[in-house]
Amino acid sequence: MPGTGACTVVVGCQWGDEGKGKIVDVLSERIDVVARYQGGANAGHTVHVGAKEFILHQIPSGILHPGTRCLLGNGVVLDVEQFFEEYDALVSRGIDVAGRVGVSQRAHLLMPYHRVLDRVSEAGADEKIGTTGRGIGPAYEDKAGRRGIRVADLSEPDRFRRRVDDGLARAVARLEAAGAGDQVPELREAVERSVDLGERLAALATETGIEITQALGGGGRVLLEGAQGTALDLDHGTYPFVTSSNTTAAGAAIGVGIGPTRITDVVGVVKAYTTRVGNGPLPTGFDIEMDERMRRLGGEFGATTGRPRRCGWFDAVLARYAARVNGLTALAVTKLDVLDTLPEIGIGLEYCTPEGGCTRDFPADTYMLGRVEPRIETVPGWNADTTGCRTLADLPSNARAYLDRIQELTETPIAWVSVGTRRDQIIAVA
């Protein structure tokens, strides 16, 4: 294989919200190109730089490191209006983005009618998914139905306009059939705002596959960034309570336009406990009182929607499954400090069914998953502040033992441990 570059995938190993943004930000200090490979504005990556907080939805968090090139791959569904709101907000806060952001010509556009259809569909569904309402599902539906609009369509304004008008007409018909025709006038205005941004977006168009391949061929370092988490993968997650794209590491190569053999490492990000936003089972979930306590300790509210996250103990069944389907080479454990005040900590070892059978394998049947009871192993807490720790040796012995147990159960070495929100609050494990 020509070139000596390294290509690392960073992937969430739970139900999203694992803290991938911080890990990507920390790793990006030594990275030349960062690329998002799937999802859209339904993601929310929070990064703290000194006293400043940045919440990024579509632009990779590598943008906070001067000189890093940031790409949005063909696997992304790009919300044009939200993208430029985010882009301009970075500029207003002093971040130099000129020449540093590129969008794949093959990426599909998420139009305002996708957002409206998403909300109307969820409101009328008997079985609600718990969607963010950001239009992700309808945008991927159009992509799979071969009626989507791509960045490449911007090269011919007449063709672009025609495809937008066709998409809007289909959406209006569906909204009127659903009794939501009152939203159409406002929707038409929103579509025009997005269309007006087309020329500006066209100026950022690129071939992400070529850029990444050239970077690797020249010995560059590339990081591919996923959104959401393994359990939300369209194929391997808790279907139908999933997102509409492949969040796992295998989707990274497809989502940016390179071959899978170019990937050299896969870093899986896990919280030191488990959270989930939206509907669907959470096997190691807490009772109401403990759920509220952990949510308060960890500030567990969605960065995109503000919705409260459900919380539970670390789920080793899910983490081990994520290690297998992603082919993890290393783990990054986040929010260890949130557990600092707990006298005892639980780890979900296996799932047991009402019929009496137990398994350490993550089941394909989501509805069966909703009936399982986890077998919890309890380990002693450390009752000490870890936020000032900068080496593994600095951590209390019980905290190190807890990490050792996670490493043992997932069969994956831990490479990083986060003990706070700031950039410097991370331990690199030698």
Which residue has better confidence, 1 or 98?
98
- Mean per-residue pLDDT for 390-403? 97
Question: Which residue, among 91, 3, 95, 78, has the nearest Cα to 36 in the 3D structure?
Answer: 78
In 3D, which of 255, 309, 278 has the Cα closest to residue 76?
Answer: 255
Of 6, 30, 8, nearest in space to 225 by CA: 8
Rounded Cα–Cα distance for residues 98 and 115 (Å): 29
Residue 313 phi/psi, 5-degree rounding, is -70, 160
- Model pLDDT, residue 303: 65
Q: How confident is residue 2, by pLDDT bands cut at 50, 70 and 90?
A: very low
Instruction: Say if residue 3's pLDDT is above 80.
Output: no
For the cut 50, the answer to whether the pLDDT of residue 1 exceeds it is no
Average the pLDDT over 107-135 and give the result: 88
H/E stretch holding 22: helix 20-27
pTM greater than 0.85: yes
Q: What is the mean pLDDT of the chain?
A: 93
Q: Cα separation of 347 and 62, whole Å? A: 33
45 versus 211: which is more confidently predicted?
211
Query: pLDDT: is 34 or 307 the higher one?
Result: 34
Q: Active-site residues: which are they?
A: 17, 45
- pLDDT at position 125, please? 80
pLDDT in tens, 295-335: 999 999 876 667 899 999 999 999 999 999 999 999 999 99
Cα–Cα distance measured from residue 251 to residue 160, given in angstroms and rounded to the nearest whole number: 28
Supply the pLDDT for residue 53.
86
Choose the weakest-confidence range: 39-53, 230-244, 271-285: 39-53
Could you tell me if 323 and 410 are in contact, meaning their C-beta atoms sit under 8 angstroms apart?
A: yes
- Amino acid in the structure at residue 72: L
Quick check: helix, strand or coil at residue 10?
Answer: strand
Round to whole Å and give the CA distance between 172 and 175: 5
> What share of the chain in percent tops pLDDT 90?
81
Task: Say how many C-beta atoms besides its own lie within 10 A of residue 130's C-beta.
Answer: 14
The residue whose two tokens read 């309570």 is: 241
Contact call for residues 339 and 345 (beta carbons, < 8 A): yes
Alpha-carbon gap, residue 87 to 290, rounded angstroms: 39
**What's the pLDDT at 55?**
86
- The tokens for 384 are 């000490």
What is the mean pLDDT of the segment spanning 119-131?
A: 82
Q: Read out DSSP for 184-204?
A: HHHHHHHHHHHHHTHHHHHTT
What CA–CA distance (Å, rounded) separates 215 from 401?
40
The stretch 178-191 carries a mean pLDDT of 89
DSSP line for 346-366: EEEEEEE-TTS-EESSPPS-H
For 255, the token pair is 């989502």
Beta strands, E only, 140-244: 205-206, 221-225
Instruction: Tell me how far apart the alpha carbons of residues 270 and 17 are, in angstroms, rounded to a whole number.
Output: 9
Question: Span 246-271, mean pLDDT?
Answer: 97
Measured in degrees and rounded to the nearest 5, phi and psi for residue 269 equal -105, 130
Report percent pLDDT > 70 for the chain. Answer: 98
Can you tell me whether residue 235 is helix, strand or coil?
coil
Assess whether pLDDT exceeds 90 at residue 274: yes
